[in-house]
Structure 1
Amino acid sequence: MSPLQISAYTATSAVGVGKEAHADALAHSRSGLRANDFGDAPLPTWIGRVDGLEDVRLPESAMAWDCRNNRLAWLGLQADGFLEAVAAARQKYGASRIALVLGTSTASIGETELAYTQLDADGNFPSDQRRPAVHTPHSLAMFVQQVLGIDGPSETISTACSSSAKVFASAERLIRLGLADAAVVGGADTLCGSVLFGFNSLELVSTEPCRPFDAARKGISLGEAAGFALVERVQAGGNASQLLGYGEASDAHHMSTPHPEGLGAERALDDALARAGLAADAIDYINMHGTASQKNDEVEGALVARRFPARTHASSTKGFMGHTLGAAGIVEAVVCLLAIERGLMPGTVNTRALDEGFGPQIRLEPATGEVRYALSNSFGFGGNNCALVFGKAVAA
């Protein structure tokens, strides 16, 4: 495929707002996880909670969209000059030529949960919750489209934990087919009861900070995050990092368990490398999906061990901000972009002893060095897999 330029990007998670906060946490192996304090009856687990969301105020013109998920998106959009970058693209291309592709797994369902606790005597939502557009999966995209002032093609992708990785693939197709000249991609997911108690019902939630690929791993730590990127055709003389390839596959093996041999994950990996025109040994850093669940880590660890040389630096960053579900793809894409631009390869925090079944690629400590190519894995329920390859700008 023809590469796409990543002209601007940002992320907000439990480790902070913006690129600098994330780079600092990754460099110093500083986790943002904390004992669960979310909700009226917190589960005994650890979470990656973003501080201050309760105090975030949307622009007056967008207050009709107010909910935790959209507040998180607004907080994230204001970081790293992202709003200004989109404004410049809007001026260059026109509002109708900028697409919007966002991923989320729960959207504003937390607000809907709240509304159900406020039913009146007739069983109806209170008047301030009668906002049908907010109580839909497309709420995030409609809100972001309004505050960015763009009106090109708009999509919401909801494929569980691969949602905001697949946005890059959709954006590439929209631009390649001439339906847009640029695209804002990303996603946001916030903590809510459905997420915490839903994953707990699957016996996937750990009572301690998650330990990806640890021999004694006990499950995931849930988190919330938002991230965004502006992608466009490569500009002459530009030095921004690039999206080089993507791969998507659905193995449809089980509703919540990956294929035992990782067939879908490997198919996504193969397609991403093929589109990028790279062999596996060209990859310098891998951001693994690495949720700390028994089966995901088992399958992904085996895949990386058999396909990549021992020198490849691989890690999971779920121990930093938790598993941010539909936002995981974009946040971990940002980690890859930081690795390329700063030569920083993060370690795997909280993990004490790697499962002996995994290879030497998985590193517990951060490292520095040139990162020419980075791979990001995002694997969702139902075997919905996405792999992304990013690289340094190639001189024209």
Structure 2
Amino acid sequence: MKSALFVTDCGVVTPLGRGKQAVAQGLFAGSQRGIVAREDLLPARAVEVGAIQESLAPLPGAFAVYDSRNNRLMQAVLAEIAAAIENAKSRYGRDRIAVILGTSTSGIADGEDALMDYRRDGAWPPRFDYRMQETGSLAEFAARSLGLTGLAYTIATACSSSAKVFASARRLIRAGLADAAVVGGADTLCRMTLNGFASLEALSKGRCNPFSAHRDGITVGEGAAVFLLDREPGPVRLLGVGETSDAHHATAPDPEGRGAGQAMREALEDAELGPDAIAYVNLHGTATPLNDAMEAKAIADLFGSRVPCSSTKAMTGHMLGAAGGCEAAFLWLTLNPQTNSERLLPPHLWDGVPDPALPTLNLVGRGTTFPPSPQTAMLSNSFGFGGSNMALILGSGR
């Protein structure tokens, strides 16, 4: 029999706010407070992005070599679950807790600023250290700051990065290489990423409009989320994971949604659930023409038009490597009665104009609720460049 794993605590900061209560309040209200226009990311063009407004404290002196905005985001969310991690350390020992985190941009934004200083002054700024922008910096910093000496590594599979950490951590625990794991991810706004998406003509001209006939591309965002994955009972349980790689194209998804659909089917099989057991799906829903068409087909093929679903990216922007982790946090907040006593679902914000070329989906509006049940299961999709697909099922715990 499979041993149960629980997501015992959660820390989160997104454009919706900082901390579980603030993010939950904005999420269920359908807030777009964090979607703002920025003029410093693209040359001669303003662009709307999902930006975190709250100030972030610098890293302490001992960790100055890691002091990027990305790691500051991780520091903020780790602080929210510090007590749970300390409790796990006392039970298992600091060498038995793994740290598996996902990112795509890491500290590139700080490297960009340092390069501008170098071009202007002929010298790198004193605070800059290359380790700030290394992909592995995120997990290395987190493990060291927590005093953990077990396995620690970063996953970088584009937009599925911080969803895949759940599957990787579960494998480590089942293999006996760890007793618990700190999982999640962080990603930060940077010029390189925005200009890359602009060159692909994938950026929305305004705010993203997922699954609309008028959708024209993504809104990029930033965020971080972190969790403790443990055998100790908690408010939310990890029920199933499904991973596929269809490798259809470097950037475009398989138009038939075969890899995405297979990831969802594998997650359901892993959770020993049928499609009718899923109470809600958090769609990847990037608002690009190809991604939404592919995902709508995959959802309709598996669930029909029954399952309530929404894309939360109109509230946060696409948080890239942090999207999977932050949207797992949205499931955690939805399933946990302490953060969602009214059983509200995250609403789907769009212009309300369906695309007649897409299958009909049950896109939920503000105020939609899910029925009370002792066991509620919800699914979140994360799909990355290169066909890296991840479906994650969480359920009510204890």
What's the TM-score once normalised by structure 1's chain length?
0.93
Matches within 5 A, 1:157-172: 157-172=155-170
2:57 corresponding residue in structure 1: 56
Q: Which moved more, 1:379-388 or 1:67-76?
A: 67-76
Say which SS state the counterpart of residue 240 (structure 2) adopts: strand
Asked if 2 retains the 8 angstrom alpha-carbon contact of 1:305 and 1:361, the reply is: no
Query: In 2, Cα distance between the equivalents of 1:302 and 1:295?
Result: 11
> Are positions 1:14 and 2:10 aligned together?
no
Query: In 1, Cα distance between the equivalents of 2:212 and 2:388?
Result: 24
Asked if 2 retains the 8 angstrom alpha-carbon contact of 1:317 and 1:349, the reply is: yes
Asked if 1 retains the 8 angstrom alpha-carbon contact of 2:41 and 2:194, the reply is: no
- Classify 1:121/1:311 alpha carbon distance in 2 versus 1 (closer, same or farther; 3 Å): closer
- Classify 1:375/1:37 alpha carbon distance in 2 versus 1 (closer, same or farther; 3 Å): same
- Give the superposition deviation at 1:311: 3.2
2:243 to 234, 237, 248: 248
- Give the superposition deviation at 1:37: 4.4
- Give the superposition deviation at 1:369: 2.2
Q: Which runs of 5+ in 1 are unaligned?
A: none
- Classify 1:28/1:170 alpha carbon distance in 2 versus 1 (closer, same or farther; 3 Å): same
2:48 to 41, 46, 49: 46
- Give the superposition deviation at 1:359: 1.6
Matches within 5 A, 1:1-396: 1-31=2-32, 32-39=34-41, 41=43, 43-53=45-55, 56-79=57-80, 82-119=81-118, 125-129=124-128, 131-233=129-231, 235=232, 238-341=233-336, 342=340, 343-356=343-356, 357-370=358-371, 372-393=376-397
- CA deviation digits over 1:198-237, x for unaligned, max 9? 111110001211111111011100000000000012x3xx
Q: What amino acid does structure 1 have at the position aligned with 2:381?
A: N
Say which SS state the counterpart of residue 381 (structure 2) adopts: strand
Q: What amino acid does structure 2 have at the position aligned with 1:388?
A: L
Q: What amino acid does structure 1 have at the position aligned with 2:253?
A: P
Query: In 1, Cα distance between the equivalents of 2:238 and 2:217?
Result: 31
Asked if 2 retains the 8 angstrom alpha-carbon contact of 1:33 and 1:322, the reply is: yes
- Classify 1:176/1:292 alpha carbon distance in 2 versus 1 (closer, same or farther; 3 Å): same
Instruction: Give me the CA root mean square deviation.
Output: 1.8
- Give the superposition deviation at 1:111: 1.6
Query: In 2, Cα distance between the equivalents of 1:88 and 1:352?
Result: 47
Query: In 1, Cα distance between the equivalents of 2:302 and 2:74?
Result: 36
Query: In 2, Cα distance between the equivalents of 1:125 and 1:116?
Result: 7
Q: Which runs of 5+ in 2 are unaligned?
A: none
Q: What amino acid does structure 2 have at the position aligned with 1:45?
A: V
Query: In 2, Cα distance between the equivalents of 1:2 and 1:267?
Result: 24
Query: In 2, Cα distance between the equivalents of 1:157 and 1:144?
Result: 14
Q: What amino acid does structure 2 have at the position aligned with 1:359?
A: T
What's the TM-score once normalised by structure 2's chain length?
0.93
Q: Which moved more, 1:342-351 or 1:167-176?
A: 342-351
- Give the superposition deviation at 1:365: 3.3
Query: In 2, Cα distance between the equivalents of 1:379 and 1:16?
Result: 24
- Give the superposition deviation at 1:33: 1.0
Asked if 2 retains the 8 angstrom alpha-carbon contact of 1:26 and 1:366, the reply is: no
- Classify 1:43/1:102 alpha carbon distance in 2 versus 1 (closer, same or farther; 3 Å): farther
- Give the superposition deviation at 1:364: 3.5
Asked if 2 retains the 8 angstrom alpha-carbon contact of 1:185 and 1:231, the reply is: yes
Q: What amino acid does structure 2 have at the position aligned with 1:221?
A: T
Say which SS state the counterpart of residue 222 (structure 1) adopts: coil
Query: In 1, Cα distance between the equivalents of 2:311 and 2:42?
Result: 31
- Give the superposition deviation at 1:136: 1.2
